[in-house]
């Protein structure tokens, strides 16, 4: 199951469409299941998530 982090309140949760805490829709960043929200450049999963979320 994918985990996400809200850009507004930094809370980790499982909802891709909005934050259950602050009720912000969108602004949810998928996080690496191993490293959390701190991207590690040597992790293939982190690199893929970063490219997907930044469009690079």
Question: Which residues of the chain form beta strands (DSSP E)?
Answer: 3-6, 12-13, 28-31
pLDDT number for residue 23:
86
Instruction: For the chain of 56 residues, list the mean pLDDT of each consecutive stretch of 10.
Output: 86 90 85 81 86 72
Chain centroid to CA 49 = 8
> d(Cα 47, Cα 50) in Å, to the nearest integer?
5
- HSE, side-chain direction, 13 A CA sphere, residue 15: 14
- SS3 of 53, please? helix
Q: Are 7 and 27 in contact (CB under 8 A)?
A: yes
Give the pTM. 0.65
Q: To the nearest whole number, what is the mean pLDDT of the chain?
A: 84
């Amino acid at each position: 199951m994918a985990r996400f982090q809200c850009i507004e309140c930094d809370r980790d949760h499982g909802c891709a469409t909005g934050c259950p805490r602050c009720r912000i829709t969108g602004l949810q960043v998928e996080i690496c299941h191993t490293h959390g929200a701190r991207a590690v450049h040597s992790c293939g999963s982190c690199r893929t998530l970063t490219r997907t979320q930044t469009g690079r």
